[in-house]
Structures are given as C-alpha cells and as structure tokens.
Chains A and B, each alone.
Chain A
Amino acid sequence: MTDANIEFHAVATTAEVTEDEPKAVSIGRMDIGIYKLEGEFYAIDDICTHAYACMTDGYIDDGQIECPLHGACFDIKTGKALTAPATIDLRPYEVKIEGDQIMVGVTKAED
C-alpha cells in the first residue's frame, strides 16, 4: 500500500523495541506505540481509547496489549478493541524498516 499523502518518520531503531518491551514515540502531537511481534514491527496509537493511559506501559500477551490502568485489551497488529471497557479501536499505522530504522507512516498535515 502506498499513498502519496503518507509520510514516513524514523522513530526508533529495531534494537530499541523487543517482544516484551514496546516503545512509546511521538510524531508531532501524536503518541504512537511501537511493538514487535514474531519478528515484525507494528505501530498503533498509544493513548487508550477509554481513558488517558499510555498503552506501552501495559502488558503484552498473546498478540494483545493490555491497558495498564483499566485492563482493556487491544490487538497489536490491528488496534482492534477486544475487551471492555474499551469499545473504540486504537488507530494502526503503516510501518516499514529501512536498515535498522523503524519508519512509521502518518498522513501529511496530520502531524
């Protein structure tokens, strides 16, 4: 998928994100969480859709990230809200790897 309106930003190196420890980054005003699952990298919004909490402070299990505050679980690959109390999905972002850089794609003018 390529979109001329998507601009990629280098946010971290591949060594900075492990399967157990995601990394919180920001692009402009956007807070984004970077995850590694089965060798692949994923990026989803980092602020829980239920109440203010950084998802990257949460707990990873079985492809899901669990909110550290109230326990809502989201699918790391898609951002989909899987359990209460969240009912709104986290937004996913496109990721590509260039060398050892993790690049996250956001729509231009959004950052």
Chain B
Amino acid sequence: MSDDRTFVIIGASQAGGWVAQTLRNEGFEGNVILIGEEPYLPYERPPLSKAALLGEVTVDSTYFWQQEALDEANIEVRLNTRVTAIDRDAKEIEIEGGDRIAYDKLAITTGARVRKLPIEGADLPGVFYLRTMGDTLAIRNAVKDGATAMIVGGGWIGLECAATLTKLGCKSVVVEAADRLCGRAVTPEISDWMLKFHTGHGVDVRLSTGLEKFEGNGHLERAVLPGGDTIDCSIAVVGIGVIANVELAQDTGLKIDNGIVVDDRACTSDPDIVAAGDVTNHPNGLLERRIRLESYENAQNQGITAGKAMLDKAEPYSEIPWFWSDQFDANLQLIGLPQDWDETATRGDQDSNEFVTFYLKNGMIDGAISVNNPRDLRVGKRLMQGKKQVSAAELIDPETKLQALLKR
C-alpha cells in the first residue's frame, strides 16, 4: 500500500530534523519535505559558540544527519527556501517566489531569531550576533589574535563566546546590564561563581553596565559606555536573547502566547498542524506550568513528539528542563527552573570548580546546577522526577551515594 500523503516541515532545524526522522522511524511512507531558510542541513548549535568558532570542526561534522542518510530515509530537504505564508483553508504553504506546496500535515519548527541591539552603531561591520552557522563563520573570519572583543550580554551565549574568543587570543570584555551574570537562568550564588570563574580566566566582566553606542569609521572601532567612557574594540558579539519566530503561525491565525501555543503532544490549535522547539509555548506537567524553552533537549524531544503526533501516536511530552554550557574548562549543567526554594545543598566545593548545588523545596529537589559533575546532576534529575524526599544534609554528605536515595 503506498501512502500518497505529504507531510511538510517548516524549519530545517534540530527540531525539524527530528520531526522528519521520527516520521520515518515510525514507518510513515508518504512524502516528507523539510524546508530550511539557511544553506545548511539541520546542524548542532552547541558547537557554534565553541568548537566551530574555534575552527576545530567542519560544518559537515555539525550536521545531525549527512545528506546520504537523509536521502536514504527519503527525506526531501529544500534549503535556501523561505516560507512566506501558510494557507490553512487550502492546506498549502507558499514559498518565496510564489510557489505553493500542498500538505496533509504540517510541522512548524521555525525556532527563534536574535534580538537586535537598538543602539547607534550596532549596524557597523564588526558587530555580530551568534545564532546560526553563518554567524559563527563570519565571527571566525573577523577574529584577530590580540583584538579586543566586546561581548554584549552576560548570558550563556555571551559567556561561551567570551571564553572561546579568549582562547582565540582576544581580550574579552563582557558588559551586562543586570547586576549579575546569567540572571535569567541561574541563582545568585552561581552568578557569583561564574563571575569569579571568568575573571580568573582573564575576562573583563562589567556588571550593571549598559552600552551607549558603537563608533567607528566604516568599521567598529570603539564602544561608548553611558557616562562617556570608551573601550577600543574591533569586534563585538551581541547575545541579548532571542525572539520566537511565530509570524507564520500568527498570520494564519494559530493561537500565540509567548510562542505558538501547543498541547503536551505538540499539537497547535489546528488539528493538522504541530509545532516543536524554541518556538512553542507548551505545558510542562512536572513543573505544572506553561513554558517556552530554548534548549537542545526540548528541540530534540518535542520534535520527536511532534513527529509522532502527525501520525496520531504521540505520548504526552513532559520532561524536567535540562540545559548545559561549556565555558573554558567548565561544563555547567542545570535541571529545572528553580524559582523559590527553601534551602540549598552544595555537594563538593564551589572553589574547586567541581560541585553540584541542589535547590530544595518541601524536602524535594526543585532544581540543581552542576559544574564538572554531570553524573550527580543526572541522579538529581531522577530524584526530582521521582519526587523523592531528601534532606540537604544527606545531599551534602560525600559519604551519601546519591543513587541509593533513588531507591526510596
């Protein structure tokens, strides 16, 4: 029996790629068309601020699947193709140039785009953002040994970039408007640890500091701080957050609220359209609230869920949010989104750069952050998932085998 249905995926991203692969893994035999705006196959984003920026890996090696594997799975990939509209009545999408493609089911995995810095001089050559492979290649081309690099924003992207540019021989200066680093993601004590860690590696971190403007004659030459102080720099990387690419969904009347609103099976308000990844606002049963996540794990696992949902096979998707970041020789990992906790418990020594700090609420783990200790964090994730009762004292005690606590 041949299947003549066509399933279209807008966004050749990590999430979009997993939708396509999942359709095949689940035995779908109809047409799968994966459409991407960029000239690249779905690629891993974590290396963009690290190994790819250092020039240690090739573009191809960041692909989730090589072209041959996609061919073998009979996934049609159309790159350099921008979708301009979704026509839900006709069940067609329109691509730039006016061609239309009919769909039986549609997946939207359009991700997010960088928030632009609204200051004078932000459009000067030498001022970069970091979100795409194209961005990384452009920065790598512009980096010169010994240059001063201005990093705008002390979040994950900014700090990873500061670390990598330092490794490339730049003097990295980070300006952060808030009074601590990574304030949206980590707790104040971890912000303090990050400040010490980066300063110790030679990064010049300036908190509570905005930027007035960039200046330069045809190319970036300096950053001007409020008050008039200037910092000479030939390169700047701005990492001040992203905006979900909801426009296609919004224009076609899908429900939007800080992202495309989906249920726990990645289904939108249209029964023939699913959405996954950074672009969605989805319910999280474990956290008991709606969230929009910008994470590797969510792009992958919600993408898999969305693929199954197109075949009416999806199980509810709900996982404890998990992130990681690599900066210099530190691997940081986070679970949960701890907001209000009763007590904290640190296992290991924060000064040794190898520890995990747990955040406890009502005797249960509400979140945790580890530095160079992924294994304890993973046990913590299971303790959190299983809603196990634990005490700060036993978590801190190095004699406690965390895995034993799971058997409660």
Chain A residues engaging chain B, CB cutoff 8 angstroms: 20, 51, 57-59, 61, 66, 68-71, 84-85, 87
- Knowing A69-B324, A84-B300, the reply to whether A20 touches B378 (Cβ < 8 A) is no
Complex: A69 Cα to B322 Cα, angstroms: 11
Can you name 5 extra interface pairs (CB under 8 A) apart from A59-B379, A84-B300?
A20-B403, A57-B374, A58-B375, A59-B375, A66-B378
- Knowing A70-B296, A85-B64, the reply to whether A57 touches B375 (Cβ < 8 A) is yes
On chain A, the residues within 8 Å of B300 by CB distance are 84-85
In order of increasing CB-CB distance, the 5 nearest A-B pairs are A68-B374, A59-B378, A84-B300, A20-B403, A59-B375
Any A CB within 8 A of the CB of B18: yes
B375 with A68: CB separation less than 8 A: yes
A71 with B322: CB separation less than 8 A: yes
Closest to B376 in A: A59
Closest to B296 in A: A70
Q: Looking at the complex, which one of B65, B324, B378, B403 makes contact with A58 (CB distance below 8 Å)?
A: B378
When A and B form their complex, what is the total count of cross-chain residue pairs whose Cβ atoms lie within 8 Å?
32
Interface string of B290-313 (1 = CB under 8 A from A): 000000110011001000000000
On chain B, the residues within 8 Å of A85 by CB distance are 64, 300
Any A CB within 8 A of the CB of B401: yes
Complex: A90 Cα to B379 Cα, angstroms: 23
List 24 contacting pairs A-B, 8 Å CB cutoff, sorted by A: A20-B401, A51-B44, A57-B374, A57-B375, A58-B374, A58-B375, A58-B378, A59-B375, A59-B378, A59-B379, A59-B382, A61-B382, A66-B378, A69-B324, A69-B374, A70-B296, A70-B324, A71-B297, A71-B322, A84-B300, A84-B301, A84-B304, A85-B300, A87-B65
Complex: A58 Cα to B373 Cα, angstroms: 10
B378 with A68: CB separation less than 8 A: yes
On chain B, the residues within 8 Å of A20 by CB distance are 401, 403
Chain B binding site: helix, strand, loop or mixed by DSSP? Answer: helix
Complex: A66 Cα to B333 Cα, angstroms: 15
Interface string of B359-384 (1 = CB under 8 A from A): 00000000000000011001100100
Query: Which residues from 233 to 256 on chain B have a C-beta closer than 8 Å to any C-beta of chain A?
Result: none
On chain A, the residues within 8 Å of B322 by CB distance are 71
Interface string of B305-333 (1 = CB under 8 A from A): 00000000000000000101000000100
B18 with A84: CB separation less than 8 A: yes
On chain B, the residues within 8 Å of A87 by CB distance are 65
Complex: A69 Cα to B65 Cα, angstroms: 19
Query: Which residues from 38 to 53 on chain B have a C-beta closer than 8 Å to any C-beta of chain A?
Result: 44
Complex: A71 Cα to B304 Cα, angstroms: 15
Complex: A57 Cα to B370 Cα, angstroms: 14
On chain B, the residues within 8 Å of A69 by CB distance are 324, 331, 374
- What is the CB-to-nearest-CB distance from A5 to chain B, in angstroms, rounded to a whole number? 30
Complex: A66 Cα to B331 Cα, angstroms: 17
Complex: A20 Cα to B406 Cα, angstroms: 12
On chain A, the residues within 8 Å of B296 by CB distance are 70
On chain B, the residues within 8 Å of A58 by CB distance are 374-375, 378
Complex: A61 Cα to B403 Cα, angstroms: 10
Complex: A84 Cα to B308 Cα, angstroms: 14
Closest to A56 in B: B375
On chain B, the residues within 8 Å of A84 by CB distance are 18, 300-301, 304
On chain A, the residues within 8 Å of B64 by CB distance are 85
Interface hub of B64, B374, B401 (most chain A Cβ within 10 A): B374
On chain B, the residues within 8 Å of A66 by CB distance are 378
- What is the CB-to-nearest-CB distance from B73 to chain A, in angstroms, rounded to a whole number? 11
On chain A, the residues within 8 Å of B378 by CB distance are 58-59, 66, 68
Query: Which residues from 382 to 403 on chain B have a C-beta closer than 8 Å to any C-beta of chain A?
Result: 382, 401, 403
- What is the CB-to-nearest-CB distance from B294 to chain A, in angstroms, rounded to a whole number? 16
- What is the CB-to-nearest-CB distance from B374 to chain A, in angstroms, rounded to a whole number? 4
Closest to B62 in A: A51
Complex: A85 Cα to B296 Cα, angstroms: 10
- What is the CB-to-nearest-CB distance from A85 to chain B, in angstroms, rounded to a whole number? 6
Complex: A14 Cα to B322 Cα, angstroms: 35
- What is the CB-to-nearest-CB distance from A58 to chain B, in angstroms, rounded to a whole number? 7
On chain A, the residues within 8 Å of B324 by CB distance are 69-70
Interface hub of B297, B331, B378 (most chain A Cβ within 10 A): B378
- What is the CB-to-nearest-CB distance from B262 to chain A, in angstroms, rounded to a whole number? 19
Closest to B304 in A: A84
Closest to A84 in B: B300
- What is the CB-to-nearest-CB distance from B283 to chain A, in angstroms, rounded to a whole number? 22
Complex: A10 Cα to B240 Cα, angstroms: 53
On chain B, the residues within 8 Å of A59 by CB distance are 375, 378-379, 382
Complex: A57 Cα to B301 Cα, angstroms: 23
Closest to B377 in A: A68
Complex: A57 Cα to B64 Cα, angstroms: 23
